[in-house]
Amino acid sequence: MTDGIGRRGRRAGMGAALALALAAGQPAHAAEESAAMALVVAVDVSQSVDDARFRLQMEGIAEALEDPGVVGAIAGNPGGILFAMVTWADQARLTLGWRRVRSRADAAATAAQVRALPRQGGEFTCIGQMMRSVTASVLPALPVPVDRMVVDVSGDGIDNCTEASALDAEREALLAAGATINGLPILVPGENDVVGAGAFRAPGYGLKPVGPGQGQETSLDRWYRAHVIGGPGAFLLAARGYGDFARALRQKFVIEISALEPQRGR
């Protein structure tokens, strides 16, 4: 991502970070040190995510951060990575602000913070609103320049509070900010095998088409491909239920952080 728009997005917040560093007595070069990538983990906490599922997600993120393969991928990046976490339902919340992770100790400290997060929730699945929040507030707050920005979106349902055209516009705005958006749909047998028809909707949203093409019924992973992922090297890797979330996320982190080419067909 070396285009002008991406460059501007990656360097957002530089002046503020430098001023804060100088005010705190830190060397200017510490504030200016770049990182290879910035990773935003965006996690669904809507109505379908009960206490047990919330904990499986938090534990899965923590285990992924502690995984030796993931730590090795992080250490292979000059300056490590910048990590942030967003939880989203009706609204998006920056649950963990930007922090640099460059070592096993850094990863373990971040994992401990993830495990300690209190239960969060909401009613609706507002993916478009989450994307808008990441574009407007999370990426501009990056403290240093990065070579790549990845937003990792996981969830078990389709957007039910944004028109399909508006959702696509929010995705395009996030891509224009320089991010790549990857997807981790959580496929729950007997629960979300088919999406797009008679879906739970936010008040005022109505029953308008939500699937690819003409709004036909579809699968969650196909819907993610059509409306969520995008950007250079974007890919989708599904979890087979919440019990598979940790495995899928570990694999996904290694691919994302190492900038590997995902296998075709995933």
Domain borders along the chain are 43-203+237-258
pLDDT exceeds cutoff 80 at 72: yes
pLDDT tens digits, residue range 128-142?
999 999 999 999 999
- pTM of the predicted model as reported, rounded to 2 decimal places: 0.82
Computed over every residue of the chain, the mean pLDDT equals 83
Q: pLDDT-based confidence at 6, cuts 50/70/90? A: very low
Q: Give me the residue label for tokens 């709004």.
A: 215
- Which residues does residue 230 pair with via DSSP β-bridges, in sequence order? 181
The Cα 79–Cα 98 span in angstroms is 14
Decide: 171 and 153 in contact? Cβ < 8 Å.
no
DSSP assignment string, 125-172:
--HHHHHHHIIIIIGGG-SS-EEEEEEEEEESS--SSS-HHHHHHHHH
Please, is 90 exposed, middle or buried when counting C-beta atoms within 10 Å of its C-beta (0-12, 13-18, 19+)? middle
Q: pLDDT-based confidence at 191, cuts 50/70/90? A: confident
Q: Give me the residue label for tokens 């088409």.
A: 209
Rg, Å, the chain Cα set: 18
Structure-token pair, residue 38: 């910035």
The CATH class of 43-203+237-258 is alpha beta
Nearest to 149 by CA among 95, 81, 100: 81
pLDDT tens digits, residue range 175-184?
999 999 999 9
Decide: 161 and 124 in contact? Cβ < 8 Å.
yes
pLDDT tens digits, residue range 200-254?
444 444 445 544 443 567 889 999 999 999 999 999 999 999 999 999 999 999 9
Structure-token pair, residue 196: 């797009």
Structure-token pair, residue 117: 């997060």
Comparing 209 with 43, the larger pLDDT belongs to 43
The Cα 245–Cα 54 span in angstroms is 11
The helix or strand, by DSSP H or E, that contains position 125, with its residue range, turns out to be none
Decide: 58 and 110 in contact? Cβ < 8 Å.
no
Comparing 193 with 61, the larger pLDDT belongs to 61
The Cα 70–Cα 142 span in angstroms is 22
pLDDT exceeds cutoff 80 at 38: yes
CA atoms within 13 A on the CB side of 147: 12
The Cα 21–Cα 5 span in angstroms is 26
Helix ranges, the chain (H): 4-10, 14-23, 28-32, 51-66, 68-75, 104-115, 127-133, 164-176, 220-227, 245-258
Decide: 31 and 22 in contact? Cβ < 8 Å.
yes
